[in-house]
Amino acid sequence: SGLITIDPGFKNTGSTKSAITFLDGEKGILRYRGYNIEDLAENSNFLEVSYLLINGELPTTEQYNDFAGRITNHTLVHEDIKKILDGFPSVAHPMGVLSSLICSLTAFYPNSLDPNNTDEEIKLSMVRLLAKMPTFAAWAYKNKMGHPVNYPDNSLDYCGNFMKMMFSLPSEKYEIDPVISKALDKLLILHADHEQNCSTSTVRIVGSSQASIYASISAGINALWGPLHGGANQSVIEMLEAIKADGGDSKKYLEKAKDKNDPFRLMGFGHRVYKNFDPRAKIIKKAADDVLEKLGINDPVLDIAKELESAALNDQYFVDRKLYPNVDFYSGIIYRALGIPTDMFTVMFALGRLPGWIAQWKEMRENNEPIGRPRQVYVGSTERPFVPIDKR
Ligand code: CMC
């Protein structure tokens, strides 16, 4: 144990061999199972990408129809889960609601607690997760709004069904805008996996204790919630709104971000792995422009985003540290344009990341990986005798 090296944040420690996602941070390359993210975002759809991540290959038409059909058949959730939802106050953050509802599946499908589930049982759990997550995500939003929940519409595709559950009111007819639905599908693809990031490592490490897949995914949702990870997309818009409220001086905030005595960071900038550019950000920036144009949106917060972006890209501090806008810088802009409230942004990220978490959990299990258990270097007090409370 004297030979333990500490690597805070695991910056240089590999935790596993993985065949799912390839990432080259210097060159800005991201591939799922060998396919470039640009290619998938342009030509595939989210369910096909989910199949690819989980099963390793793109599906045939028959495999795709079977997979998508099974997911559609499992969108409904047990009615008692609504009672759990009803217990949350409307101020509850939707990420906490989402992780709780996902964890509640351990109670509704207790056989998932058995580490010896057959492959068929595990497949079913994975289908349930993909099917029910949009329902829970939309319900978390309805709870926040104080609206009645909507039930899934199985005549719609994955994104269409989610949008309808999220945005429609029983009193209104709801038309799905294909441009918006396509943009959403693209966003989900871009978020679908990102190798051993904080939430994925969490899913694998919780799964390595042989906890239920539902408990493992729930833990991943909680890890994603933090502002340095998935929560950054919420923080970006909050930051832009704060700059606007403070007179719109983006230069002032750029200086704050550079000041080492100020904890403020430019949210949506920098990445642990991408030190050139984030390939997802490039695609998403274009998608954001398309959506804004289609919706004819003119939002002063977006002008601040553009100013901040070009100022940072031309600033020596950011250039020296290789800090570029990441996926979260632009995703929040699209979500905002679509009318998705700020505290639902990270839920959207979770919806996209789900197939990645599932694929990584499955790989961890198939590799028979040992329980994750890092070591430490002890720096506390040496041995000392106990002192009774009246003598302290
Ligand atoms: N604003 C100002 N300075 C920054 C920023 C930023 N956003 N990011 C990094 N730096 C500085 C940091 O202060 C350090 O400077 P120095 O070398 O002078 O001490 C240097 O750049 C390296 O930063 P680090 O914190 O050592 O890098 P990291 O790999 O530990 O952190 C990060 C990566 C993403 C957590 C960080 O860049 C950050 O906090 N960014 C803002 C939050 C954010 O946008 N997160 C989303 C990440 S992408 C999607 C996801 O993972 O969910």
Task: Please give the CATH architecture assigned to the domain spanning 232-337.
Answer: Orthogonal Bundle (1.10)
| Active site positions, annotated | 271, 328
| Closest listed residue to residue 220, CA positions, set 347, 131, 340 | 347
Q: How do the pLDDT tens digits run along the chain, 392 residues long?
A: 568 999 999 999 999 999 999 999 889 999 999 999 999 999 999 999 999 999 999 999 999 999 999 999 999 999 999 999 999 999 999 999 999 999 999 999 999 999 999 999 999 999 999 999 999 999 999 999 999 999 999 999 999 999 999 999 878 888 988 888 888 999 999 999 999 999 999 999 999 999 999 999 999 999 999 988 898 888 899 999 999 999 999 999 999 999 999 999 999 999 988 888 889 998 988 888 888 888 888 888 888 988 999 999 999 999 999 999 988 888 888 898 888 999 999 999 999 999 999 999 999 999 999 999 999 999 999 999 999 999 99
Cα atoms in the 13 Å half-sphere on the side-chain side of 150: 23
pTM of the entire predicted model: 0.91
The 10s digit of each residue's pLDDT in 217-235 is: 999 999 999 988 898 888 8
Q: Which ipTM score applies to this complex?
A: 0.95
Q: What are phi and psi of 36, to 5 degrees?
A: -65, 140
- Given CA atoms 320, 326, 330, 332 in this order, what sign does their dihedral have? negative
Burial of 385 (0-12, 13-18, 19+ CB in 10 A): exposed
CATH 1.10.230.10 residue ranges for the chain: 232-337
The CATH number of the domain covering residues in 20-223+345-366: 1.10.580.10
Which residues on neighbouring strands pair with residue 22, listed in sequence order?
31
CATH 1.10.580.10 residue ranges for the chain: 20-223+345-366
Counting residues of the chain whose pLDDT is more than 70, the rounded percentage is: 99
**Pocket perturbation via mutation, ligand 1, pick of 229, 265, 315, 351 by most ligand atoms within 8 A of CB:** 265
- Ligand 1 centroid to Cα of residue 73, in Å, is 42
pLDDT score recorded for residue 2: 67
Q: Which atom in ligand 1 lies closest to the alpha carbon of residue 230?
A: 52
Helices (H) and strands (E) in the chain, counts: 17, 3
Which protein residue's CA is at the shortest distance from atom 50 of ligand 1? Answer: 229
- Ligand 1 centroid to Cα of residue 269, in Å, is 7
Q: List C-alpha distances in Å: 63 to 66, 131, 360.
A: 5, 17, 21
